[in-house]
Chain A
Amino acid sequence: MPTNTYLPLANITLGTAATSVTFSSIGQGFRDLILVANTGVSSSGQAVRLQVNNDTTGTYNDVFMNGNGSSASSSYDTNNTYIFIAPYGFTASTPAANIIAQFMDYSATDKHKPVLFRANDAGLATSAGAARWASNTAISTIKIYVATGNLVAGSTFALYGVSA
């Protein structure tokens, strides 16, 4: 019997600029999580980063491909202390870029956690990426942040659970 499966879990709207947003105590009753963000960063050239479960150790790996209207490029990071979910600096005073990140099998305790994402800013670039948090621990916290400057006021972040 089909069941309804794509459920909103939480929304964050930044009334004022902030360095980070965090979703905590994420319920473990879903199969995947989907993060939908509309944001910008106040400091030029800064990329949007992500960590889970307050893990700041070198357990993150990612690979990207990007197109900026002139050329296509690809980059990767291994054993990093964060994941780039938007590798281009979406500099804007108001939210001008969207990011969709999919955390697959986030609650599994027998595998590392794969993440797929798309990030787009029509005035800058489009990108696609795959990442992995090298831990068998279930994801219970997601932090989105920038290293310098802020996520701009008006940014929105929505977290959805996709049922098993």
Chain B
Amino acid sequence: MLIPLGILAASGAGGPYELISTTVLSSSGSISLTSIPQGYKHLQLRVVARTTASQVPDQLFIRANNDTTADRHGWHYLNGNGSSVTSGNGTTNETGIRMQMITGANATTNSFGAVVVDILDYSSTTKNKTFRSLGGYTSASGSEVGLSSGFYESTNAITQLDVFGLFLAFAAGTRVSLYGIKG
């Protein structure tokens, strides 16, 4: 059953899901999302990323409010690499959250990892902040998929998100989009 498309898109009037910003890197670097508007209930990051690290995988690393205080961030993961399922965490001296696997410079050419991150109640001033993600990559020399949860121990509203490769800078072509979800 074929369904032709192209003219069926709604006009977009109304709806709870709004694009705040999209950044596509034309050269290597990191991405800092500042002055995040506070009028939404939750945020979502949609990321397609590759780094310059000389290895196959790298990891998406996120820091809230430029806060480098040790032990303010924490994370857990559940990952499958095609052979086994593993779990781990970082809860001590963390200065950011590892939010799943992306590709490094030694991954197959033109292959990028993808991660979707939900940040719940980001603007609350009475709650610590919860992150969750689904992400992964495939490459000729390894593949991995995983679910992660993250924690930012602060009742400050999140107004800034810094997005990095854990080991090295993002490569050109990396894209980070931020969406606001109304509540």
Interface residues of A (CB under 8 A from B): 2-10, 12, 14, 18, 20-27, 29, 31-32, 61-67, 72-76, 78, 102, 104-105, 110-112, 114-116, 118, 128-132, 134, 136, 159, 161-164
Contacts and interface: CB of A to CB of B under 8 A. Distances in A.
Interface string B64-86: 00000000000000111111110
Given A64-B80, A74-B83, A129-B136, A8 B180 contact: no
The majority secondary structure among interface residues of chain A is strand
19 contacts: A5-B12, A8-B8, A14-B1, A22-B3, A26-B6, A29-B9, A31-B177, A74-B82, A74-B145, A76-B138, A111-B173, A112-B111, A114-B48, A116-B134, A116-B135, A116-B145, A128-B134, A134-B111, A161-B9
Nearest to B3: A10
Contact of A110 (B1, B79, B173): B173
Contact of A61 (B84, B138, B173): B138
B156 to A, nearest CB: 22
Interface string B125-151: 000000000111111100111110000
